[in-house]
Structure 1
Amino acid sequence: MTIQWFPGHMAKARREVSEKLKFVDIVFELVDARLPISSRNPMLDQLLQQKPRLILINKADLADPVQTKKWEHYFQAQGYLALAINAQDNQGVKAIVPTAKQVLKEKIARDKARGLKPRAIRAMVIGIPNVGKSTLMNRLVGKKIAQTGNKPGVTKGQQWLRFGTDLELLDTPGILWPKFEDPEIGKKLALTGAIKDQLIHLDDIALYGLDFFARYYPERIANRYQLKAEEEALLAPDLLMKITEKRGYKDNYDRGSELVVFDIRQGKLGRYTLDRVEEMESQDETID
Protein backbone atom coordinates (compact mmCIF):
# COMPACT_ATOMS: atom_id res chain seq x y z
CA MET A 1 0.00 0.00 0.00
CA THR A 2 1.39 3.40 -1.01
CA ILE A 3 -0.02 6.43 0.81
CA GLN A 4 0.29 9.88 -0.72
CA TRP A 5 -1.28 13.15 0.38
CA PHE A 6 -0.03 16.52 -0.80
CA PRO A 7 -2.97 18.95 -1.19
CA GLY A 8 -2.46 22.24 -2.99
CA HIS A 9 -2.44 24.32 0.18
CA MET A 10 0.56 22.30 1.41
CA ALA A 11 2.58 23.15 -1.69
CA LYS A 12 1.67 26.80 -1.19
CA ALA A 13 2.57 26.62 2.49
CA ARG A 14 6.00 25.24 1.65
CA ARG A 15 6.68 28.29 -0.52
CA GLU A 16 5.38 30.64 2.16
CA VAL A 17 7.56 29.03 4.83
CA SER A 18 10.62 29.69 2.70
CA GLU A 19 9.57 33.32 2.18
CA LYS A 20 8.74 34.02 5.85
CA LEU A 21 11.85 32.51 7.41
CA LYS A 22 13.69 35.82 7.24
CA PHE A 23 11.11 37.34 9.62
CA VAL A 24 11.64 34.84 12.46
CA ASP A 25 14.47 34.16 14.91
CA ILE A 26 13.75 30.50 15.57
CA VAL A 27 11.62 27.61 14.32
CA PHE A 28 9.57 25.50 16.71
CA GLU A 29 9.36 22.11 15.02
CA LEU A 30 6.55 20.00 16.45
CA VAL A 31 6.78 16.24 16.19
CA ASP A 32 4.48 13.53 17.49
CA ALA A 33 6.04 11.74 20.48
CA ARG A 34 4.64 8.45 19.17
CA LEU A 35 6.71 8.81 15.97
CA PRO A 36 9.35 11.51 16.49
CA ILE A 37 11.20 10.69 13.27
CA SER A 38 8.36 9.64 10.98
CA SER A 39 6.43 12.82 11.86
CA ARG A 40 9.33 15.03 10.79
CA ASN A 41 9.17 16.50 7.31
CA PRO A 42 12.48 15.69 5.58
CA MET A 43 12.06 18.79 3.40
CA LEU A 44 12.53 20.99 6.48
CA ASP A 45 16.29 20.58 6.63
CA GLN A 46 16.55 22.01 3.13
CA LEU A 47 13.97 24.72 3.83
CA LEU A 48 15.29 25.84 7.21
CA GLN A 49 19.01 25.43 6.52
CA GLN A 50 20.90 27.10 9.41
CA LYS A 51 17.86 28.69 11.08
CA PRO A 52 17.91 27.99 14.87
CA ARG A 53 15.45 25.25 15.77
CA LEU A 54 13.77 23.88 18.91
CA ILE A 55 12.19 20.45 18.57
CA LEU A 56 8.98 20.08 20.60
CA ILE A 57 8.03 16.45 21.16
CA ASN A 58 4.28 16.86 21.57
CA LYS A 59 1.62 14.41 22.75
CA ALA A 60 4.13 12.94 25.19
CA ASP A 61 1.20 11.71 27.30
CA LEU A 62 0.34 9.23 24.51
CA ALA A 63 3.86 7.89 24.03
CA ASP A 64 6.05 5.38 25.84
CA PRO A 65 7.81 7.60 28.44
CA VAL A 66 11.04 5.58 28.29
CA GLN A 67 11.24 6.07 24.53
CA THR A 68 10.39 9.78 24.80
CA LYS A 69 13.32 10.37 27.13
CA LYS A 70 15.57 8.50 24.72
CA TRP A 71 14.36 10.65 21.84
CA GLU A 72 15.16 13.85 23.75
CA HIS A 73 18.73 12.61 24.16
CA TYR A 74 18.86 11.47 20.52
CA PHE A 75 17.92 14.90 19.15
CA GLN A 76 20.35 16.62 21.52
CA ALA A 77 23.10 14.36 20.19
CA GLN A 78 22.13 15.58 16.70
CA GLY A 79 22.69 19.18 17.80
CA TYR A 80 19.11 20.23 18.60
CA LEU A 81 17.55 21.08 21.93
CA ALA A 82 14.42 18.98 22.35
CA LEU A 83 11.58 19.37 24.83
CA ALA A 84 8.83 16.84 25.57
CA ILE A 85 5.44 18.51 26.04
CA ASN A 86 1.73 17.78 26.15
CA ALA A 87 0.06 20.88 24.74
CA GLN A 88 -3.43 19.47 25.32
CA ASP A 89 -2.93 19.50 29.11
CA ASN A 90 -0.44 22.39 29.14
CA GLN A 91 2.38 20.19 30.40
CA GLY A 92 5.87 21.47 29.62
CA VAL A 93 4.55 24.48 27.70
CA LYS A 94 5.95 27.03 30.19
CA ALA A 95 9.45 25.73 29.51
CA ILE A 96 9.28 26.61 25.80
CA VAL A 97 10.26 30.30 26.04
CA PRO A 98 13.21 29.73 28.45
CA THR A 99 14.43 26.88 26.24
CA ALA A 100 14.08 29.03 23.10
CA LYS A 101 16.17 31.72 24.80
CA GLN A 102 18.79 29.08 25.49
CA VAL A 103 18.86 28.16 21.79
CA LEU A 104 19.20 31.85 20.91
CA LYS A 105 21.60 32.82 23.69
CA GLU A 106 24.40 33.76 21.27
CA LYS A 107 22.10 36.00 19.20
CA ILE A 108 20.66 37.58 22.35
CA ALA A 109 24.21 38.26 23.61
CA ARG A 110 25.21 39.82 20.27
CA ASP A 111 22.16 42.09 20.24
CA LYS A 112 22.90 43.19 23.81
CA ALA A 113 26.53 43.94 22.94
CA ARG A 114 25.33 46.10 20.03
CA GLY A 115 23.11 48.07 22.37
CA LEU A 116 19.85 46.82 20.86
CA LYS A 117 16.78 46.84 23.08
CA PRO A 118 15.40 43.40 24.00
CA ARG A 119 12.35 42.40 21.97
CA ALA A 120 10.02 39.44 21.75
CA ILE A 121 11.37 36.29 20.17
CA ARG A 122 9.77 35.73 16.78
CA ALA A 123 9.12 32.08 16.15
CA MET A 124 7.60 30.02 13.38
CA VAL A 125 5.63 26.95 14.45
CA ILE A 126 5.82 24.16 11.91
CA GLY A 127 4.93 20.49 11.70
CA ILE A 128 2.93 17.90 9.82
CA PRO A 129 -0.90 17.76 10.10
CA ASN A 130 -2.50 16.69 13.36
CA VAL A 131 0.67 17.09 15.41
CA GLY A 132 -0.93 19.66 17.73
CA LYS A 133 0.22 23.03 16.41
CA SER A 134 -3.05 24.87 16.93
CA THR A 135 -3.49 23.43 20.42
CA LEU A 136 -0.01 24.66 21.33
CA MET A 137 -0.81 28.15 20.01
CA ASN A 138 -3.92 28.37 22.13
CA ARG A 139 -2.01 27.25 25.23
CA LEU A 140 0.75 29.78 24.69
CA VAL A 141 -1.56 32.68 23.92
CA GLY A 142 -3.96 31.71 26.72
CA LYS A 143 -7.15 31.80 24.70
CA LYS A 144 -8.66 30.08 21.72
CA ILE A 145 -7.29 31.93 18.73
CA ALA A 146 -5.91 29.15 16.55
CA GLN A 147 -8.51 26.76 15.17
CA THR A 148 -8.10 23.18 16.38
CA GLY A 149 -9.43 19.83 15.33
CA ASN A 150 -8.61 16.18 15.86
CA LYS A 151 -8.10 15.66 12.17
CA PRO A 152 -5.48 16.71 9.64
CA GLY A 153 -5.85 19.79 7.48
CA VAL A 154 -7.59 22.18 9.91
CA THR A 155 -5.14 25.11 9.62
CA LYS A 156 -5.05 26.49 6.07
CA GLY A 157 -3.50 29.98 6.41
CA GLN A 158 -0.83 31.81 8.38
CA GLN A 159 -1.32 34.06 11.39
CA TRP A 160 0.81 35.88 13.97
CA LEU A 161 -0.03 35.27 17.61
CA ARG A 162 1.42 37.21 20.57
CA PHE A 163 2.46 35.54 23.82
CA GLY A 164 2.96 38.27 26.42
CA THR A 165 6.06 40.37 25.80
CA ASP A 166 8.42 37.44 25.25
CA LEU A 167 7.16 35.69 22.15
CA GLU A 168 5.45 36.28 18.82
CA LEU A 169 4.35 33.16 16.94
CA LEU A 170 3.80 32.61 13.25
CA ASP A 171 1.49 29.68 12.65
CA THR A 172 1.72 27.64 9.46
CA PRO A 173 -0.45 24.87 8.01
CA GLY A 174 0.69 21.29 8.48
CA ILE A 175 2.96 20.22 5.68
CA LEU A 176 3.47 16.66 4.54
CA TRP A 177 5.98 15.79 1.85
CA PRO A 178 5.00 14.80 -1.70
CA LYS A 179 6.10 11.15 -1.53
CA PHE A 180 6.84 8.72 1.28
CA GLU A 181 9.95 6.85 0.17
CA ASP A 182 9.39 4.31 2.94
CA PRO A 183 5.85 2.81 2.90
CA GLU A 184 6.16 2.07 6.62
CA ILE A 185 6.26 5.80 7.37
CA GLY A 186 2.91 6.20 5.63
CA LYS A 187 1.45 3.41 7.75
CA LYS A 188 2.74 4.96 10.97
CA LEU A 189 1.28 8.34 10.07
CA ALA A 190 -2.03 6.74 9.12
CA LEU A 191 -2.19 4.75 12.35
CA THR A 192 -1.84 7.92 14.46
CA GLY A 193 -4.35 9.87 12.35
CA ALA A 194 -2.01 12.24 10.49
CA ILE A 195 -3.49 11.16 7.13
CA LYS A 196 -7.16 11.32 6.25
CA ASP A 197 -8.88 7.97 6.66
CA GLN A 198 -10.54 8.36 3.26
CA LEU A 199 -7.10 7.97 1.67
CA ILE A 200 -6.11 4.70 3.34
CA HIS A 201 -7.24 1.10 3.73
CA LEU A 202 -8.00 0.66 7.42
CA ASP A 203 -7.50 -3.10 7.26
CA ASP A 204 -3.86 -2.61 6.20
CA ILE A 205 -3.35 -0.09 9.01
CA ALA A 206 -5.03 -2.38 11.56
CA LEU A 207 -2.75 -5.27 10.55
CA TYR A 208 0.28 -3.01 10.85
CA GLY A 209 -0.84 -1.90 14.32
CA LEU A 210 -1.43 -5.45 15.50
CA ASP A 211 1.99 -6.53 14.21
CA PHE A 212 3.61 -3.66 16.09
CA PHE A 213 1.86 -4.31 19.40
CA ALA A 214 2.48 -8.04 19.12
CA ARG A 215 6.19 -7.25 18.86
CA TYR A 216 6.56 -4.59 21.56
CA TYR A 217 3.51 -4.74 23.83
CA PRO A 218 1.97 -8.24 23.33
CA GLU A 219 0.28 -8.38 26.71
CA ARG A 220 -1.82 -5.33 25.89
CA ILE A 221 -3.49 -7.01 22.91
CA ALA A 222 -4.31 -10.04 25.04
CA ASN A 223 -5.75 -7.89 27.84
CA ARG A 224 -7.72 -5.54 25.62
CA TYR A 225 -9.35 -8.26 23.50
CA GLN A 226 -9.49 -10.98 26.17
CA LEU A 227 -7.43 -13.48 24.18
CA LYS A 228 -6.71 -16.99 25.34
CA ALA A 229 -3.09 -18.12 25.67
CA GLU A 230 -3.16 -20.04 22.40
CA GLU A 231 -4.67 -17.03 20.58
CA GLU A 232 -1.92 -14.60 21.59
CA ALA A 233 0.55 -16.16 19.13
CA LEU A 234 -1.73 -15.72 16.10
CA LEU A 235 -0.37 -13.79 13.14
CA ALA A 236 -1.95 -10.40 12.51
CA PRO A 237 -4.52 -11.50 9.86
CA ASP A 238 -5.77 -14.35 12.05
CA LEU A 239 -5.65 -12.09 15.08
CA LEU A 240 -7.83 -9.52 13.34
CA MET A 241 -10.31 -12.26 12.44
CA LYS A 242 -10.38 -13.46 16.04
CA ILE A 243 -10.90 -9.93 17.43
CA THR A 244 -13.69 -9.31 14.91
CA GLU A 245 -15.35 -12.54 15.96
CA LYS A 246 -14.99 -11.86 19.68
CA ARG A 247 -16.58 -8.44 19.29
CA GLY A 248 -19.62 -10.01 17.64
CA TYR A 249 -19.00 -8.48 14.21
CA LYS A 250 -19.17 -11.93 12.53
CA ASP A 251 -17.12 -11.63 9.33
CA ASN A 252 -17.27 -7.81 9.08
CA TYR A 253 -13.51 -7.30 9.06
CA ASP A 254 -13.83 -3.67 8.01
CA ARG A 255 -15.61 -3.01 11.28
CA GLY A 256 -13.00 -5.05 13.16
CA SER A 257 -10.21 -3.05 11.50
CA GLU A 258 -11.85 0.22 12.45
CA LEU A 259 -12.13 -0.96 16.05
CA VAL A 260 -8.43 -1.85 16.28
CA VAL A 261 -7.22 1.38 14.64
CA PHE A 262 -9.37 3.63 16.83
CA ASP A 263 -8.50 1.66 19.97
CA ILE A 264 -4.83 2.33 19.24
CA ARG A 265 -5.40 6.02 18.42
CA GLN A 266 -7.47 6.59 21.55
CA GLY A 267 -4.89 4.97 23.80
CA LYS A 268 -7.04 2.00 24.77
CA LEU A 269 -4.00 -0.24 24.26
CA GLY A 270 -1.87 2.09 26.36
CA ARG A 271 0.98 4.49 25.60
CA TYR A 272 3.19 3.48 22.69
CA THR A 273 6.00 4.73 20.47
CA LEU A 274 6.15 3.52 16.88
CA ASP A 275 9.60 4.95 16.15
CA ARG A 276 12.20 3.20 18.31
CA VAL A 277 15.46 4.93 19.19
CA GLU A 278 17.36 1.64 19.07
CA GLU A 279 16.30 1.04 15.47
CA MET A 280 17.19 4.61 14.46
CA GLU A 281 20.64 4.37 16.02
CA SER A 282 21.17 1.05 14.27
CA GLN A 283 20.32 2.68 10.93
CA ASP A 284 22.68 5.58 11.67
CA GLU A 285 25.51 3.14 12.37
CA THR A 286 24.80 1.31 9.10
CA ILE A 287 24.95 4.60 7.16
CA ASP A 288 28.22 5.56 8.87
Structure 2
Amino acid sequence: MPDKKNFRTRNFWKIVQEIIEKSDIVLEVLDARMPELSRNFEVEKLVNDSGKKLILVLNKADLVSKPTLERVGKALRDKGFLAVFVDSSYKAPPPKKLIGMVFGALRDIAKPVRFDGKVGKWSVGVIGYPNTGKSSLINLITRRKKVIVSRKAGTTRGVQWVSFGDNIRILDSPGVIPLTADDPVRFGLLGVRNPEKMRNLEFTAEAIVDIFLHQNRPALERVFGITIPNDGLISPDSVVALIAFSKGFVKKGGLPDEYRTHLVIVRAWNDGTLRL
Protein backbone atom coordinates (compact mmCIF):
# COMPACT_ATOMS: atom_id res chain seq x y z
CA MET A 1 0.00 0.00 0.00
CA PRO A 2 1.45 3.46 -0.91
CA ASP A 3 2.81 5.58 1.93
CA LYS A 4 0.21 8.37 2.22
CA LYS A 5 2.57 10.74 4.04
CA ASN A 6 5.34 10.38 1.45
CA PHE A 7 2.86 10.79 -1.40
CA ARG A 8 1.49 13.99 0.16
CA THR A 9 5.00 15.37 0.69
CA ARG A 10 6.03 14.58 -2.90
CA ASN A 11 2.88 16.32 -4.09
CA PHE A 12 3.74 19.44 -2.07
CA TRP A 13 7.16 19.62 -3.70
CA LYS A 14 5.71 19.08 -7.15
CA ILE A 15 3.39 22.06 -6.60
CA VAL A 16 6.21 24.21 -5.22
CA GLN A 17 8.44 23.48 -8.20
CA GLU A 18 5.54 24.31 -10.51
CA ILE A 19 4.97 27.66 -8.77
CA ILE A 20 8.66 28.60 -8.89
CA GLU A 21 8.80 27.67 -12.58
CA LYS A 22 5.73 29.79 -13.40
CA SER A 23 6.68 32.77 -11.20
CA ASP A 24 8.72 35.82 -12.15
CA ILE A 25 9.57 36.48 -8.50
CA VAL A 26 8.87 34.50 -5.32
CA LEU A 27 7.73 35.65 -1.87
CA GLU A 28 8.63 33.37 1.03
CA VAL A 29 6.32 34.11 3.95
CA LEU A 30 7.94 33.69 7.37
CA ASP A 31 6.73 34.02 10.95
CA ALA A 32 8.32 37.23 12.28
CA ARG A 33 8.49 35.67 15.75
CA MET A 34 10.73 32.88 14.45
CA PRO A 35 12.25 33.90 11.12
CA GLU A 36 15.04 31.33 11.04
CA LEU A 37 12.80 28.52 12.24
CA SER A 38 10.18 29.29 9.60
CA ARG A 39 12.61 29.59 6.69
CA ASN A 40 12.50 26.69 4.26
CA PHE A 41 16.05 26.26 3.04
CA GLU A 42 15.14 23.62 0.45
CA VAL A 43 12.68 26.02 -1.16
CA GLU A 44 15.16 28.90 -1.06
CA LYS A 45 17.71 26.74 -2.87
CA LEU A 46 15.18 25.87 -5.57
CA VAL A 47 14.39 29.57 -6.06
CA ASN A 48 18.05 30.55 -6.18
CA ASP A 49 18.86 27.73 -8.60
CA SER A 50 16.06 28.95 -10.87
CA GLY A 51 17.57 32.43 -11.03
CA LYS A 52 14.34 34.02 -9.74
CA LYS A 53 14.41 36.86 -7.21
CA LEU A 54 13.38 35.91 -3.66
CA ILE A 55 11.77 38.32 -1.18
CA LEU A 56 11.41 37.30 2.48
CA VAL A 57 8.10 38.53 3.92
CA LEU A 58 8.10 38.41 7.71
CA ASN A 59 4.44 38.17 8.61
CA LYS A 60 2.76 38.66 12.01
CA ALA A 61 5.10 41.57 12.73
CA ASP A 62 2.43 43.00 15.02
CA LEU A 63 3.22 40.18 17.46
CA VAL A 64 6.86 41.25 17.86
CA SER A 65 8.40 44.29 19.57
CA LYS A 66 9.97 47.02 17.44
CA PRO A 67 13.54 46.50 18.77
CA THR A 68 13.32 42.80 17.88
CA LEU A 69 12.06 43.59 14.38
CA GLU A 70 14.91 46.05 13.82
CA ARG A 71 17.48 43.50 14.98
CA VAL A 72 16.07 40.69 12.83
CA GLY A 73 15.70 42.94 9.78
CA LYS A 74 19.30 44.12 10.02
CA ALA A 75 20.58 40.55 10.37
CA LEU A 76 18.73 39.45 7.21
CA ARG A 77 19.81 42.48 5.19
CA ASP A 78 23.41 41.94 6.29
CA LYS A 79 23.14 38.47 4.76
CA GLY A 80 22.03 40.00 1.47
CA PHE A 81 18.32 39.19 1.66
CA LEU A 82 15.48 41.37 0.47
CA ALA A 83 13.25 41.38 3.56
CA VAL A 84 10.13 43.26 4.61
CA PHE A 85 7.89 43.10 7.71
CA VAL A 86 4.12 42.87 7.36
CA ASP A 87 1.10 42.81 9.65
CA SER A 88 -1.53 40.86 7.73
CA SER A 89 -4.23 40.97 10.38
CA TYR A 90 -7.75 41.75 9.22
CA LYS A 91 -7.60 45.51 9.95
CA ALA A 92 -4.01 46.07 8.81
CA PRO A 93 -3.34 48.74 6.14
CA PRO A 94 -2.03 47.71 2.71
CA PRO A 95 1.67 46.73 2.89
CA LYS A 96 2.98 49.62 0.76
CA LYS A 97 6.64 48.75 1.30
CA LEU A 98 6.11 45.16 0.14
CA ILE A 99 4.03 46.22 -2.86
CA GLY A 100 6.74 48.71 -3.83
CA MET A 101 9.40 46.03 -3.46
CA VAL A 102 7.40 43.64 -5.68
CA PHE A 103 6.94 46.24 -8.43
CA GLY A 104 10.60 47.19 -8.16
CA ALA A 105 11.64 43.56 -8.64
CA LEU A 106 9.31 43.09 -11.62
CA ARG A 107 10.30 46.32 -13.37
CA ASP A 108 13.27 44.76 -15.12
CA ILE A 109 11.48 41.54 -16.09
CA ALA A 110 9.75 41.38 -19.48
CA LYS A 111 6.12 40.35 -19.33
CA PRO A 112 5.45 36.90 -20.78
CA VAL A 113 3.93 36.58 -24.23
CA ARG A 114 0.82 34.39 -24.38
CA PHE A 115 0.17 31.70 -26.98
CA ASP A 116 -2.04 34.13 -28.94
CA GLY A 117 0.76 36.69 -29.15
CA LYS A 118 -0.70 39.06 -26.55
CA VAL A 119 1.31 40.25 -23.58
CA GLY A 120 0.41 38.36 -20.40
CA LYS A 121 0.73 39.15 -16.71
CA TRP A 122 3.67 38.97 -14.38
CA SER A 123 3.40 36.07 -11.90
CA VAL A 124 4.30 36.34 -8.22
CA GLY A 125 4.62 33.06 -6.31
CA VAL A 126 3.83 32.89 -2.59
CA ILE A 127 5.30 29.99 -0.64
CA GLY A 128 6.03 29.06 2.96
CA TYR A 129 5.08 26.82 5.84
CA PRO A 130 1.43 26.21 6.70
CA ASN A 131 -0.06 28.83 9.03
CA THR A 132 2.49 31.57 8.34
CA GLY A 133 -0.32 33.67 6.86
CA LYS A 134 0.20 33.34 3.10
CA SER A 135 -3.49 33.58 2.24
CA SER A 136 -4.07 36.49 4.64
CA LEU A 137 -1.15 38.30 3.05
CA ILE A 138 -2.59 37.86 -0.46
CA ASN A 139 -5.96 39.15 0.68
CA LEU A 140 -4.24 42.14 2.26
CA ILE A 141 -2.27 42.95 -0.90
CA THR A 142 -5.27 42.64 -3.21
CA ARG A 143 -7.68 44.17 -0.66
CA ARG A 144 -10.17 41.48 -1.53
CA LYS A 145 -11.11 38.31 0.30
CA LYS A 146 -10.25 36.00 -2.58
CA VAL A 147 -8.31 33.35 -0.69
CA ILE A 148 -9.87 31.29 2.10
CA VAL A 149 -8.38 32.09 5.51
CA SER A 150 -8.76 29.98 8.64
CA ARG A 151 -7.06 29.50 11.99
CA LYS A 152 -7.09 25.80 11.21
CA ALA A 153 -3.63 24.77 9.98
CA GLY A 154 -3.28 23.77 6.35
CA THR A 155 -6.40 25.44 4.96
CA THR A 156 -4.96 26.03 1.47
CA ARG A 157 -5.11 22.70 -0.39
CA GLY A 158 -3.88 23.53 -3.87
CA VAL A 159 -2.53 26.29 -6.09
CA GLN A 160 -4.84 29.32 -6.22
CA TRP A 161 -4.47 32.16 -8.74
CA VAL A 162 -5.47 35.68 -7.69
CA SER A 163 -5.37 38.81 -9.89
CA PHE A 164 -3.70 41.95 -8.55
CA GLY A 165 -4.51 44.88 -10.80
CA ASP A 166 -4.22 44.54 -14.56
CA ASN A 167 -0.62 43.36 -14.72
CA ILE A 168 0.01 40.81 -11.95
CA ARG A 169 -1.32 37.45 -10.89
CA ILE A 170 -0.42 35.94 -7.53
CA LEU A 171 0.01 32.19 -7.05
CA ASP A 172 -0.79 30.89 -3.57
CA SER A 173 0.60 27.48 -2.60
CA PRO A 174 -0.40 25.00 0.07
CA GLY A 175 1.99 24.95 3.05
CA VAL A 176 5.34 23.40 2.31
CA ILE A 177 6.73 20.76 4.64
CA PRO A 178 10.41 20.06 3.87
CA LEU A 179 11.55 16.49 3.33
CA THR A 180 14.43 16.70 5.82
CA ALA A 181 13.02 18.79 8.67
CA ASP A 182 10.03 16.87 10.01
CA ASP A 183 10.44 18.22 13.55
CA PRO A 184 7.17 18.03 15.54
CA VAL A 185 8.20 20.81 17.97
CA ARG A 186 9.18 23.06 15.06
CA PHE A 187 5.81 22.47 13.43
CA GLY A 188 4.07 22.99 16.76
CA LEU A 189 5.72 26.40 17.24
CA LEU A 190 4.74 27.38 13.70
CA GLY A 191 1.17 26.26 14.28
CA VAL A 192 1.43 23.77 11.43
CA ARG A 193 -0.55 21.23 13.41
CA ASN A 194 -3.65 22.03 15.42
CA PRO A 195 -2.97 21.71 19.19
CA GLU A 196 -5.61 19.04 19.69
CA LYS A 197 -3.90 16.82 17.11
CA MET A 198 -0.30 17.29 18.24
CA ARG A 199 1.55 14.18 19.29
CA ASN A 200 4.15 16.26 21.12
CA LEU A 201 1.93 18.90 22.71
CA GLU A 202 3.93 18.84 25.95
CA PHE A 203 7.26 19.54 24.20
CA THR A 204 5.76 22.35 22.10
CA ALA A 205 4.16 24.06 25.11
CA GLU A 206 7.36 23.85 27.15
CA ALA A 207 9.40 25.14 24.19
CA ILE A 208 7.08 28.18 24.06
CA VAL A 209 7.48 28.74 27.81
CA ASP A 210 11.25 28.43 27.48
CA ILE A 211 11.30 31.08 24.72
CA PHE A 212 9.42 33.52 26.95
CA LEU A 213 11.51 32.73 30.02
CA HIS A 214 14.52 33.93 28.04
CA GLN A 215 12.95 36.74 26.00
CA ASN A 216 9.80 38.09 27.66
CA ARG A 217 9.07 36.70 31.10
CA PRO A 218 6.60 39.51 31.98
CA ALA A 219 4.35 38.42 29.08
CA LEU A 220 3.94 34.98 30.65
CA GLU A 221 3.04 36.56 33.97
CA ARG A 222 0.59 39.03 32.43
CA VAL A 223 -1.22 36.60 30.12
CA PHE A 224 -1.57 33.76 32.61
CA GLY A 225 -1.83 35.73 35.85
CA ILE A 226 1.19 34.17 37.54
CA THR A 227 4.29 35.37 39.35
CA ILE A 228 7.50 33.63 38.31
CA PRO A 229 10.20 33.37 41.01
CA ASN A 230 13.21 35.48 40.06
CA ASP A 231 15.83 32.98 41.17
CA GLY A 232 17.10 32.00 37.71
CA LEU A 233 16.37 28.33 38.35
CA ILE A 234 12.77 28.13 37.21
CA SER A 235 12.12 25.44 34.59
CA PRO A 236 9.43 25.34 31.88
CA ASP A 237 7.58 22.49 33.57
CA SER A 238 7.47 24.49 36.82
CA VAL A 239 5.91 27.41 34.95
CA VAL A 240 3.37 25.02 33.41
CA ALA A 241 2.39 23.98 36.94
CA LEU A 242 2.02 27.63 38.00
CA ILE A 243 -0.24 28.29 35.02
CA ALA A 244 -2.32 25.19 35.76
CA PHE A 245 -3.01 26.24 39.34
CA SER A 246 -3.69 29.83 38.26
CA LYS A 247 -6.28 28.59 35.75
CA GLY A 248 -7.78 26.06 38.16
CA PHE A 249 -6.71 23.16 35.97
CA VAL A 250 -6.35 20.63 38.76
CA LYS A 251 -6.95 16.89 38.70
CA LYS A 252 -7.91 14.60 41.53
CA GLY A 253 -5.29 14.53 44.23
CA GLY A 254 -4.39 18.18 43.65
CA LEU A 255 -2.13 17.50 40.67
CA PRO A 256 -1.96 20.01 37.81
CA ASP A 257 -3.85 19.05 34.65
CA GLU A 258 -0.90 19.35 32.31
CA TYR A 259 -2.78 18.48 29.11
CA ARG A 260 -5.32 21.32 29.50
CA THR A 261 -2.52 23.69 30.45
CA HIS A 262 -0.40 22.73 27.45
CA LEU A 263 -3.39 23.37 25.18
CA VAL A 264 -3.95 26.84 26.67
CA ILE A 265 -0.28 27.77 26.23
CA VAL A 266 -0.09 26.63 22.59
CA ARG A 267 -3.39 28.32 21.72
CA ALA A 268 -2.23 31.59 23.31
CA TRP A 269 0.92 31.42 21.17
CA ASN A 270 -0.95 30.56 17.96
CA ASP A 271 -3.63 33.24 18.26
CA GLY A 272 -1.21 35.99 19.28
CA THR A 273 -2.41 36.43 22.86
CA LEU A 274 1.13 35.59 23.98
CA ARG A 275 3.47 38.05 22.25
CA LEU A 276 7.23 38.42 22.29
Common fold: TM-score over 0.5: yes
Q: Which residue in 1 is equivalent to 2:266? A: 261
Distance 1:193 1:47, change over 3 A: same
**Preserved CA contact (<8 Å) 1:10 1:174:** no
Q: Which consecutive residues of structure 1, in runs of 5 or more, have no partner in the other structure?
A: 112-116, 273-288
Matched, 1:96 2:94: no
Percent of residue pairs identical: 24
Compare 70-79 and 162-171 and name the one that shifted more.
Answer: 70-79
SS of 1:245 mapped into structure 2: helix
SS of 1:87 mapped into structure 2: coil
Counterpart of 1:242, as a letter, is: L
Q: CA deviation at 1:127?
A: 0.9
1:194 alignment partner, one of 182, 192, 195: 192
Compare 118-127 and 53-62 and name the one that shifted more.
Answer: 118-127
Distance 1:103 1:261, change over 3 A: same
**Preserved CA contact (<8 Å) 2:32 2:61:** yes
Matched, 1:206 2:205: yes
CA–CA distance in structure 1, aligned partners of residues 190 and 16 of structure 2: 25
Q: TM-score, normalised by structure 1?
A: 0.79
SS of 2:157 mapped into structure 1: coil
Q: Which residue in 2 is equivalent to 1:215? A: 214
CA–CA distance in structure 1, aligned partners of residues 61 and 221 of structure 2: 24
**Superposed, which structure 2 residues align to 1:65-214 within 5 Å?**
65-88=66-89, 89-107=91-109, 120-180=121-181, 186-197=184-195, 198-214=197-213
Q: Which residue in 2 is equivalent to 1:39? A: 38
Counterpart of 2:18, as a letter, is: E
**Preserved CA contact (<8 Å) 1:31 1:127:** yes
CA–CA distance in structure 2, aligned partners of residues 100 and 266 of structure 1: 28
Q: Which residue in 2 is equivalent to 1:246? A: 246
**Preserved CA contact (<8 Å) 1:222 1:232:** no
**Preserved CA contact (<8 Å) 1:84 1:92:** no
SS of 1:212 mapped into structure 2: helix
Q: Which consecutive residues of structure 2, in runs of 5 or more, have no partner in the other structure?
A: 113-117
Counterpart of 2:96, as a letter, is: K
CA–CA distance in structure 2, aligned partners of residues 8 and 91 of structure 1: 39
CA–CA distance in structure 2, aligned partners of residues 47 and 196 of structure 1: 28
Q: TM-score, normalised by structure 2?
A: 0.82
CA–CA distance in structure 2, aligned partners of residues 195 and 245 of structure 1: 27
* 1:220-255, Cα deviation, whole Å (9 max, x unpaired): 223334434647753222221222122211221111
Counterpart of 1:244, as a letter, is: A
* 1:22-44, Cα deviation, whole Å (9 max, x unpaired): 32210011111111111111211
Counterpart of 1:241, as a letter, is: A
CA–CA distance in structure 2, aligned partners of residues 260 and 43 of structure 1: 30
SS of 2:239 mapped into structure 1: helix
**Preserved CA contact (<8 Å) 1:87 1:136:** yes
Counterpart of 1:206, as a letter, is: A
Aligned residue pair count: 259
CA–CA distance in structure 1, aligned partners of residues 58 and 126 of structure 2: 13
Distance 1:196 1:101, change over 3 A: same
Distance 1:214 1:20, change over 3 A: closer
Counterpart of 2:11, as a letter, is: K
**Preserved CA contact (<8 Å) 2:228 2:239:** no
Distance 1:216 1:18, change over 3 A: same
Compare 160-169 and 136-145 and name the one that shifted more.
Answer: 136-145
Counterpart of 1:93, as a letter, is: P
SS of 1:53 mapped into structure 2: strand
Distance 1:90 1:187, change over 3 A: same
CA–CA distance in structure 2, aligned partners of residues 16 and 52 of structure 1: 18
